[in-house]
Amino acid sequence: MSNKKELSELQVFKTVLYYCLVITVLPVLVFFISKIFIFDGLLGINSISSNVYSAGVTIVVLHIALGAYIYRAYFDERSKTEVKKD
C-alpha cells in the first residue's frame, strides 16, 4: 500500500512539474515566435505594435494553459480519494 501511495505521489509531482513548465515556458516561446515570425516578419508591423499583439497572443495562450491545469486538477479521476468501505 505504501508503494502505491508513493507511485501516486510521484505521478502527481510529474503532472504538476509538467504544467509548471508549460505555464512558464510556453508563453515566452509564443511571444517571441509570434513577434518575430508573424507580426514582424509576415505582417511587417512596427516594433511597438508587434510587441502589443504578441503580448495579447501570449495572454491567451497562458490562460489556455492555466485552464488546462485547473481542468486536469478538478476532473482527473485519479485525484479523487477513495472512500474506505467497511
Give residues with Cβ within 8 angstroms of 53, minimum separation 6: 34, 35, 39, 45
Give, in degrees to the nearest 5, the angle at Cα 69 between 80 and 66.
Answer: 150
Per residue in 26-80, pLDDT tens?
Answer: 999 999 999 999 999 999 999 999 999 999 999 999 999 999 999 988 887 655 5
Q: CB neighbours (10 Å) of residue 83?
A: 5
First to last CA, the chain: 17
Nearest to 67 by CA among 14, 10, 33, 26: 26
pLDDT attached to residue 2: 64
Instruction: Reply yes or no on whether the pLDDT at 23 is more than 80.
Output: yes
In this prediction the pTM is 0.75
